[in-house]
Structure 1
Amino acid sequence: MRVTTAFNRVLKLPGAWVDQVSFTDVGIVIGLRRRTRLLTCPCGWRTRSRYDSSRRRWRHLDFGACKVFLEADVYRIDCGACLRVRTEQVPWARPNARHTSDFEDLVAWLAQRMDKTAVSRLLRCSWEAVDHIVTRVVAEHIDDNRLNDLFRIGVDEISYRRGRRFLTIVADHDTGRVVWVGKDRSQKAFEEFFDALGERTAAVEAITLDGSSIFKSVAEQRIPRARICLDPFHVIGWANEVVESTYRAEAPHFPIGDRQGRPSRREWRRARYAVRAGAERLDERHQTILNGLRRHSYRLWRAWELKEQLRDFYRIIDPADARAYLNQWCTAALRSRIPAYHTLVGRIRKHFDAIASAVELGLSNSRLEGINAKIRLIQRRGYGFRDLDALTAMIYLCLGGITITLPTDPRPGA
């Protein structure tokens, strides 16, 4: 069997066959010849006419310990669609790339699972090459179609650098994919998402967000028919703040259990845990502490009880009874005569529809919080990102639902 025939069977390159093989000091250099005379512009326009040509080399997948390079003549063409002279597109590489598509797909697949420095060492290429490849692969896979069929979305922000530098993350609740990354935490950044969404905003049925007024005002204006759902985590956080303020006011004045006099620091910590933790996490010792609080510090015990009743609103209340239960809870909180709860009731009534909708639709920002945790992992894995575009590309690559087909995967018709 001839050497060129063997390499043709091994490589199976689209649109070309092996013309010559050279073993050099840098590795194996494989010369290619085209199968057709039609030349293709990166925009897809095809022609036979051409200008001058140049010899170009692409890095391919290694053969064992040997680097492999592909060489072929590349022509410039006068594109009738672009109305300018452009370099033709070859079928085995992406536009303006110096690596083959198979090599870049392998780099992108590894970048989803490890840091770029490890990828560059494994594949014997530069760190900058890995960074450019990730950007190029993401640009090919991320298109406007990702914004189709968005019915239930969530929005949240995440800090990516010191100095209050934030990103705005929009995700699809149904698929769990990140569909938009805004390079700021502002109304303008969120409005850019709706500008890209266009007429598809009419299909959005619900949106989850936190208590920030930045995103809520934009959502009310751009998707007035969608139901806004306030994240339960933030509502319970408000109640915990009330319990904490009440504890600080009452702590020096109450005895714990059967002990009289000033409690020890350990006993204070136990009491603080008892009023802050969920009822399902308390043991008999903590129940004894709560019973003591009910007898000697009723206001603190009542603050804890109202907090647990608000947690029950999200855990065991029938969604059909959500609004009635929340109204009853607000009335009970006002009757408690705890000033901090009066303030909390005002906040809850301000966001009443959003809080009730979260229970009725069963939505929260927990999926967005999980996405933020994964973004933190991407940042730690890369030891931080100086370039915001590089971080955005990695978010789309790892969390945007991009599926990379490896060169070793079976291909259609193979």
Structure 2
Amino acid sequence: MLKTVVSEGIHVRAAAVINRLLGFEGTVVDDVCFTDTAMVVQVRLRSQVLVCPCGRTSRARYDRSRRKWRHVDFGRYRVVIEAEIRRVDCRGCGQVRSEWMPWARPGARHTRDFEDMACWLAKRMSKSAAAALLGTTWQTVDHLVARLVDTHLDSERLDAIYRIGVDEIAYRRGRKFLTVVADHDTGRVVFVGEGRRQDVFGRFLESLGEDGRARIEAVSMDMTAIYRGAATTHVPHAAICLDPFHVIKWAGEALDLAYQTCREQGVKIAVAGLTPAQTWQKARGALRQPAGQHDPTRTAIIEQLRRKHPRIHHAWRLKEDLRRLYQVPTSDAADHLRRWINRAKRSGINAFVTLARRLRRHRTGILNAIHLQLSNSLLESINAGIRLIQRRSHGYADLDNLIEMIHLCHGGITTSLPTETH
């Protein structure tokens, strides 16, 4: 049963305090009522002019009704905003619509502050935890997130992109993948599609339209050919930039094969303070680590390999020289890569001969990445964020919910707490 503040003087002062706490623009608190668990605040608009959500104003009322909105809690009380809302037959949009309210978005049953709080929390914790903190259900939080993404995801985010990156991420066991496309200049996710297939990326490129595809200057990707076909088909003028990380990864894998061959031949090496077995255990780490990060022990191991197994030392030098491809001046990169390929082909080390052939096939994409200074590191960081989203909520049964959360957290949607001042 509702209990209204009795004393008229106290009632006026309480209404003034509540009005200040709510901070709703152009709004007057008429009454404050309490139940055992909730505080119902009855408000009205100061202006008699009706404002349609499209922005057009009118004084012609179509009809009216009373409506309630859930607000952020005050202490241990749930807060409910109650007001008379009018509908206007708007000539601007040609529809009968509910008037714009300063405390809620059009069509919402929660105030702006409640929605902003829910979405801010959903970015940082599971929806169940956010719901428990707000005193609602996770389904409500899920609905608010979907509503925010639908209305605030920048519809013009595709209008100015010209350098993009594409990568895949597994979201479920059984080889279930998502294709993620990001804008290199804003760092935002611009597309998420189900599947790791050429047609998924192709659909995104088609959605850009002819003018949008013409603006694309560069596409970064890893070494797999999944997305390369779509890029060459839909944006043949764009420079394909192959991720430097994967080039160095290939060199590391080739070095591992050479290392394994060396171990099988039974060559013994040892440095001071380590047995031959311990030396070999550290040798692999010394070979894979950049030379500039070696400590004295690993430097001694490399020297032992140079003296007792020059073949694997040569493989290590090739790996280090390939790493320097991304450190030399851009103007020298093409010559450096050409010389490296020739050296690797003449090395006689099968793994590096094979690697030289692979790099020769991908030479243009590798050099594009160097000249344009593009890599897939942005996509890798986004993928790490997606894994965090999944771990936080212990997975998503509905893929659409996961995609909404990706756009919320990485799509450039700004969420702020009601208490933040600007």
The two structures share one fold, judged by TM-score above 0.5: yes
Deviations for 1:30-63, whole angstroms, at most 9, x for unmatched residues? 1233445565665666666666654321111222
Please report the TM-score for the alignment, with normalisation by the length of structure 1.
0.89
Partner of 2:221: 209
Distance change >3 Å, CA 192–CA 79, structure 1 → 2: farther
Alignment of 1:7-406 (within 5 A): 7-14=18-25, 16-36=27-47, 53-74=64-85, 90-198=101-209, 199-257=211-269, 265-314=277-326, 316-406=327-417
Q: 1:312 Cα shift?
A: 0.9
Structure 1, residues 203-235: CA drift from partner, whole Å, max 9, x if none?
A: 222221101112111122222222211001111
- Sort the Cα spacing of 1:42 and 1:392 in 2 relative to 1 into closer, same or farther, 3 A: farther
**298-307 vs 77-86, greater mean Cα deviation:** 77-86
Q: CA deviation at 1:142?
A: 0.5
Secondary structure of the structure 2 residue equivalent to 1:337: coil
Q: Distance in 1 between matches of 2:30 and 2:258?
A: 82
Q: How many residues align?
A: 407
CA distance in 1, matches of 2:323, 2:279: 25
Cα shift at 1:274: 2.2
Task: Please tell me whether the aligned partners of residues 221 and 240 of structure 2 are also in contact (alpha carbons under 8 angstroms).
Answer: yes
Higher deviation after alignment, 94-103 or 157-166: 94-103
What per-residue deviation string (whole Å, max 9, x for no partner) do you get for residues 363-393 of structure 1? 2111211111122112212222222222222
Aligned-partner Cα distance in 2 for 1:258–1:161: 46
**2:3 maps to what in 1?**
none
CA distance in structure 2 between the aligned counterparts of 1:82 and 1:299, rounded to whole angstroms: 77
User: In 1, Cα distance between the equivalents of 2:403 and 2:296?
Assistant: 49
Counterpart CA distance in 1 for 2:362 and 2:77 is 64
Preserved contact between residue 269 and residue 308 of structure 2 (Cα < 8 Å): no
Query: Residue 30 and residue 179 in structure 1: after superposition, are their counterparts in 2 closer, same or farther (change >3 A)?
Result: same
Provide the TM-score with structure 2 as the length reference: 0.87
Provide the secondary structure at the position in 2 that maps to 1:166. strand
Deviation at 1:196, TM superposition (A): 3.2
Query: In 2, distance between residues paired with 1:195 and 1:48?
Result: 46
Secondary structure of 1:18's partner?
strand
Which runs of 5 or more residues in structure 1 are unaligned? none
Contact 1:256 1:289 in 2 (8 A): no
- Within 2, Cα distance between the matches of 1:291 and 1:126? 64
* C-alpha contact 1:28 1:68 (8 A) present in aligned 2: yes
Identical pairs, percent: 48
Partner SS state of residue 182, structure 2: strand
- Contact kept, 8 Å, 1:256 with 1:292, in 2: the verdict is no
The residue matched to 2:419 in structure 1 has which SS?
coil
Gaps of 5+ in 2: 1-8
User: Which amino acid in the other structure matches residue 320 of structure 2?
Assistant: E
Note if contact 2:220-2:240 (Cα within 8 Å) is conserved in structure 1: yes
Task: State which drifts further: 142-151 or 359-368.
Answer: 142-151
Q: CA deviation at 1:352?
A: 0.6
The question of whether the paired residues in 2 share the 8 Å contact of 1:41 and 1:88 is answered with: yes
Question: How far apart, in 2, do the equivalents of 1:232 and 1:46 lie?
Answer: 57
